[in-house]
Amino acid sequence: MNEVIRMLKKRVFQANLALPKEQLVKLTWGNASAINRELGIVVIKPSGVPYSKMTEEQMVVTDLQGEILEKASLKPSSDLPTHLVLYQEFKEIGGIVHTHSKNAVKWAQAARDIPVYGTTHGDTFYGDIPCTRQLTKAEVNAEYEKETGNLIVATIQERALNPMAIPGIITQGHGPFTWASSVEKAVENSIVLDEIAEMAMGTEQINPQAARLTQYLLDKHYYRKHGEQAYYGQK
């Protein structure tokens, strides 16, 4: 068990280091986590620790209720409750990433979904990336981070989305969360999300009446990577 936890800490540490490397975060504006469902544990970045000073040993281990499981641990990321809600609700999720990446945040602050304009988007996200409503004052004053998770879940359910086909969301006025079956893939989805956010902005600047990607082309690009008959890449 100790070796399993050590390896999970290593993976989460490396995922967190990838965020500034990929220019998805500045200062301490982000976090990545992973879950081991057999053990019922979550590993996440410590709160407010600069990436340049962070160590693998400082990754915080909790249970699914947020209780810290190792003595002398640092405080976990303040976004832990958001991660826990998503892990509890969507059993397919194995890793979660939250950033304040510049391009995605612009859409969050504009309170707009990110439309699917091209195949780069469709390769990873099977449709528009949703933007949530804004949290109410009562939600913010109650359990802000937990209510953020509840709002993400509610948005996905209200729109009847498959969270693994749309593996990310932007929270209005805040920023993006992405997820996947692994924390490494969740990092990749964050990279893609910010890139297509920038592409969509540029598309609308060049042509404010740009046409959305046709459904048949979206189907082709998404399912050739993710469908039962997927053929992209190597076996």
CA gyration radius for the chain?
18
- Beta-sheet strands, E only, within 107-192: 168-171, 175-180
Say how far apart CA 158 and CA 119 lie, in whole Å: 26
Q: Homologous superfamily of 2-226 in CATH? A: Class II aldolase/adducin N-terminal domain (3.40.225.10)
Q: What is the pLDDT of residues 94-133, one digit of tens each?
A: 999 999 999 999 999 999 999 999 999 999 999 999 999 9
Say how far apart CA 165 and CA 226 lie, in whole Å: 9
- Beta-sheet strands, E only, within 47-142: 60-63, 95-99
Q: Which two tokens stand for residue 177?
A: 């969360």
Say how far apart CA 222 and CA 82 lie, in whole Å: 28
Residues 6+ apart with CB under 8 A from 22: 187, 190, 191
Say how far apart CA 144 and CA 127 lie, in whole Å: 28
Q: What share of the chain is helix, strand, coil (3-state, %, to 5)?
A: 45, 15, 40
Contact by Cβ (8 Å): 88, 146:
no
Report the SS3 class of residue 217.
Answer: helix
Please report the pLDDT score of residue 92 as a whole number.
97
- Whole-model pTM over 0.75: yes
Which residues are marked as active site?
A: 123, 232
Please report the pLDDT score of residue 231 as a whole number.
85
Kindly list the domain boundaries of the chain, sorted by start residue.
2-226
Q: Which two tokens stand for residue 127?
A: 């449709």
Say how far apart CA 6 and CA 153 lie, in whole Å: 30
Residues of the chain with pLDDT under 70: 1
Single out the residue of 54, 40, 24 nearest to residue 177, CA to CA: 24
